[in-house]
Amino acid sequence: MTTASPVLLTVPEVMVRLKVGRTKVYDLIRTRRLVSIKVDGCRRIPDDAVRDFIVGRIGEAA
C-alpha cells in the first residue's frame, strides 16, 4: 500500500496561488480559514488546504 505524501507549500507559493499578499495569507492562517503547520519554525500549508479553501469560497459564492 502506497500513500502519497502531502505537498507542503510556503507562504509565498500560497500568495501566488491565491493572488493575495503575505498579510492576507497569515490572516487566513490566524483565523483558521487556512490550515497550516510549522516545520522547524517555518510555516507550511498543505496543498489540499489551499484547494479546500478555494472550493469552500466557491461554494459560498454560489
Q: Which residue has the cell 505524501?
A: 5
Grade residue 2 by pLDDT with cuts at 50, 70 and 90: low
Q: Kindly state the average pLDDT of the residues 14-37.
A: 97
Q: Kindly state the average pLDDT of the residues 11-35.
A: 97
Q: Kindly state the average pLDDT of the residues 39-61.
A: 93
CA angle 26, 32, 35 (to 5 degrees): 80
The arrangement of strands across the sheet holding 42-46 comes to 8-9, 42-46, 37-39
Grade residue 1 by pLDDT with cuts at 50, 70 and 90: low
Checking if the pLDDT of 53 tops 70, the result is yes
Grade residue 4 by pLDDT with cuts at 50, 70 and 90: confident
